Amino acid sequence: MTGFERFVDTFFKWPLIVQYTPSILAGMVVTIQLAIAVVLTGLLLGLLLAVLRSLGRRILTWPIMLFADVMRALPPLVLVLLIYFGLPNVGITLSAFTVLWLVLALTLAAFAEEIFWAGMTSVRKGQWEAASATGLTYLQAVAYVILPQAVRITIPPLTNRTIAITKNTALGTVIGVPEILNQATTAVSFAGNATPLTLGAIAYLVLFFPVVVLGRWIETRFAWKRA
Amino acid sequence: MEQLAEQFFNLEIALQVWPLMLRGLGMTLMLCAIIIPLGIFGGLLAAIAATSNSHALRIFTRVYADFFRAIPPLVLLIFVYSALPFAGINLSPLAAVVIAFVLNNSSFYGEIFRAGIQSIGEGQWHAARATGLNLAQTLFYVIIPQATRNVLPDLASNTLEVVKLTALASVVSFSELLYSADMARSVTFNATPIVMAAAIYLIIMWPLVRLVGRLEHRIGS
């Protein structure tokens, strides 16, 4: 066997590609479900927390800041293990899917809250005053004046952070969520060949490469033009 | 309540596993000391290539960066650690972790440095070259110092992510902090070691999170 044939036989063995593509596709479905759940709940919760923080009540601000700090400081895998293996000891059993969704959504919420908050505080006070001076209502001011300006600096970091946290769905493999990586590693141990992992890597590329390119485009599209 | 304390804050177990956790922390710090400088160095090289005049080099570094930013680091790590042996390449956990994470974080650092270099006006290049500096001197004495200053908050926040990333090394049984904690958990059937690991990560990371927040704020205003 030539070196190239050995390489193909190890990483792209055709019978195994045929055999394991269905389970990798099944894994992709789980990954996509998780990703959608995490992104929707994480961003919504983050926005909600940022709005609550903007009310300026200390009783709200302090717990929100504490939550955001702790969730940004801890590696998600630590929380996944803590919740998945710790809670059953006190009688609370959550499915692996639920645990992963909870941890990633809360992590995203913490980062999103900080980003939304930074966006809201970046709009100068004069903009609020000018908006209401021209006769806009509070809602009109928010929708037509404040948000369009806040979004400009919010979108790029938010996109990058969302992509990074969504990629963490691969952590599910550690607690047995049947997502792409889990399917791939299981298949590798059955097949005794690396091909399923190659398939898994390709599946992630198919899902995330377009998103990364989109993120790059958004970054340039929304960047302030430097004078 | 008592059960909760027993399961998550068990002092007896905490004292028992403390030396193991300290050793794990040492390994985590060692890992950081290896992959952060290597990642920054690789990122700088990638950024210099990405802003060079060569069209081919620019395309190559863009694909490199997007490729490694699209693959989840855990997937890359497991590929390096458990797929490469099928091709006869056997790596120790440490080597696998370093290779996977440096590929991953150098592409993130690279994108940050690229943005920094591109934020420096043409005039700086012209002025540096006009005073007789060569290309390398221009880069290292004029462009990169200013570029780094401009993207310092992003560099700091990415470095935080790299520190958190090291927890993934536990998956390939590299005995860093989280791996030690999980070992202790499976031996004691008690979640206290994981709580301790979380507390240690918090103690290290919290001040850094605050610091990065302040950096971002200062540059932003």
Query: What global pTM score does this model have?
Result: 0.90
pLDDT at position A226 over 70? no
Q: How confident is the model at residue A90 (pLDDT cuts 50, 70, 90)?
A: confident
- Judged by average pLDDT, the poorest of A3-7, A102-106, A135-139, A223-227 is A223-227
Give A-chain residues touching B205 at CB under 8 angstroms. 72-74
Q: How confident is the model at residue A138 (pLDDT cuts 50, 70, 90)?
A: confident
pLDDT the model gives residue A223: 66
Average pLDDT on B59-64 reads: 92
Contact A96, A80 (CB under 8 A): no
Taking the CA of residue B194 and the nearest CA in chain A, the distance in Å comes to: 6
pLDDT averaged over every residue in chain A: 90
* Helix intervals (H) in chain B: 2-8, 11-50, 55-70, 73-78, 93-118, 122-130, 135-137, 144-150, 152-165, 177-188, 192-220
pLDDT averaged over every residue in chain B: 92
pLDDT the model gives residue B33: 97
Instruction: Choose among B72, B178, B220: nearest Cβ to A167.
Output: B72
**Whole-angstrom distance, CA of residue A75 vs CA of residue A11:** 31
Q: What is the DSSP letter of A136?
A: -
Q: How confident is the model at residue A227 (pLDDT cuts 50, 70, 90)?
A: very low
**b/e burial code for range B121-147 (CB count within 10 A of at least 16 → b):** eeeebeebeeeebeeeebbeebbbeeb
* B147-201 tens-digit pLDDT: 999 999 999 999 999 999 999 999 999 999 999 999 999 999 899 999 999 999 9
Give the best residue of A6, A65, A89 to mutate against chain B (max B CB count within 10 A).
Answer: A89
Please report, as a single letter, which amino acid is at residue A202. I
Instruction: Choose among A81, A168, A181: nearest Cβ to B78.
Output: A181
Inform me whether the C-beta atom of residue A124 falls under 8 Å from chain B C-beta atoms: no
What ipTM is given for this predicted complex? 0.90
pLDDT at position B219 over 80? no
Instruction: Choose among B69, B86, B210: nearest Cβ to A212.
Output: B69
pLDDT at position B220 over 80? no
Q: How confident is the model at residue B79 (pLDDT cuts 50, 70, 90)?
A: very high
Cβ <8 Å between B209 and A69? yes
**Whole-angstrom distance, CA of residue A136 vs CA of residue A75:** 44
